[in-house]
Amino acid sequence: MSVLSLKGRDLLSLADLSQTELEAVIDLASSMKSGSVEFRSRKTLGLLFSKASTRTRVSFSVAMYQLGGQVIDLNANVTQIQRGEPVKDTARVLDRYLDVLAIRTYAQSELEDFATYAEIPVINALTDLEHPCQVLADLQTVKENFNGFEGLTLAYFGDGNNMVHSLLIGCALVGMNIHVATPEDFQPDPAVVRQAKEIAGDRSSILITNDANAAATDVHVLYTDVWASMGQEDSATSRVPVFQPYQINDELVKRADPEAIVLHCLPAHRDEEITDSAMEGKHSRIWDQAENRLHAQKALLASVLGAE
């Protein structure tokens, strides 16, 4: 696939990509990381973030600067949206100023409204439903460590949140098995699970379980996220005893394949969803994973902008 074949496309969900397109973006990210491929795009990226961000904000900004473009950081609190301007009005105005817009917000429907009224590419930089840009980097990290996806199994432990939804779709697209271990009342959206199973077909399997130990047995990737996502902080304390059996710790890591890697999308609450020893141990690839946010988003921007 030519890197330019995504030119002008939105990325609202990983399901917007085919398997071929997803793997091409991952491969381009690796080529950009090694320096073997370079693109230039003198365009302007807008960041419209209603949620806090470290890695997404910085990696998108650095990626655009490295491509030769500019970034305008649009704090939602100081835009007219905060004062009640309709999304469709803001979207049509920004469409005439910017070349691409990355949005980090709560409702997936708000993101979809922007995409409806703006002709420029709109990228999901995180919603309550999905976090596709994170999974681009996750899959890049997996491929770096295992040289592919065939025969691999990723196990996720914790809350059935936006991170799980994108992992389900991403693993299904590349043909990687996925186990999701969550407490009974915190399973992923059944509609997303059905969608992922349809994408996977008979190429890979999806297991949703409440048994963390079973989910971890012989897997190649152990993955977790915070137990209370942004906007759920009030319930964080009450969730701890419910989620404690799903902590990634040394005992859980021992159940996995001897060459297994540990991933976390960050920020981490050490010794809650993951122990300090698991984060810092020999199986951890968390810092490589965080670095790959830059390369994956750089590749995505080059693809949707049609960089030269």
Q: Of 55, 99, 133, 134, which is the active-site residue?
A: 134
Strands 153-157, 206-209: parallel, antiparallel or unpaired by DSSP?
Answer: unpaired
Same fold, 3-130+293-305 and 134-289: yes
Q: Which CATH superfamily is domain 3-130+293-305 in?
A: Aspartate/ornithine carbamoyltransferase (3.40.50.1370)
Residue 55's pLDDT band (cuts 50, 70, 90): very high
Q: Of 99, 225, 247, 297, which is the active-site residue?
A: 225
Active site residue 171: no
Active site residue 255: no
pLDDT of residue 234: 66
User: Is the model's pLDDT at 5 over the cut of 80?
Assistant: no
Distance CA(292)–CA(276), nearest Å, equals 22
pTM of the model: 0.95
Q: Does a cis peptide bond (omega within 30 degrees of 0) precede residue 190? A: no
105 sits in which H/E element: none
User: Is the model's pLDDT at 230 over the cut of 70?
Assistant: no
Q: Of 131, 239, 285, 295, which is the active-site residue?
A: 131
Q: Is 97 exposed, middle or buried (0-12, 13-18, 19+ CB in 10 A)?
A: exposed
User: Is the model's pLDDT at 4 over the cut of 80?
Assistant: no
| Backbone dihedral angles phi then psi of residue 266, each to the nearest 5 degrees | 65, 150
Q: Of 265, 283, 285, 297, which is the active-site residue?
A: 265
Active site residue 134: yes
pLDDT of residue 308: 63
pLDDT of residue 107: 96
At the top level of CATH, the class of 134-289 is alpha beta
Active site residue 131: yes
Q: What pLDDT, in 10s, does the model give residues 66-120? A: 999 999 999 777 788 767 889 999 999 999 999 999 999 999 999 999 999 999 9
Angle, vertex CA 165, rays to CA 154 and CA 207, nearest 5:
45
pLDDT of residue 188: 98
Q: Of 179, 283, 293, 295, which is the active-site residue?
A: 293
3-state secondary structure of 155: strand
The neighbouring-strand residues paired with 48 are: 74, 103
* Domain residue ranges of the chain, discontinuous segments joined by +: 3-130+293-305, 134-289
* Neighbour tally for 303: CB within 10 Å: 26
The residue type at 226: V
Residue 1's pLDDT band (cuts 50, 70, 90): very low
**Which CA distances in Å does 211 have to 130, 157, 171, 270, 272?**
24, 10, 20, 22, 18
Q: What pLDDT, in 10s, does the model give residues 169-224? A: 999 999 999 999 999 999 999 999 999 999 999 999 999 999 999 999 999 999 99
Q: Of 55, 99, 104, 285, which is the active-site residue?
A: 104
Beta strands in the chain (DSSP E): 44-49, 70-75, 100-104, 122-124, 153-157, 177-181, 206-209, 221-224, 261-264
pLDDT of residue 2: 46
Contact 56, 126 (CB under 8 A): yes
Q: What pLDDT, in 10s, does the model give residues 110-158? A: 999 999 999 999 999 999 999 999 999 999 999 999 999 999 999 999 9
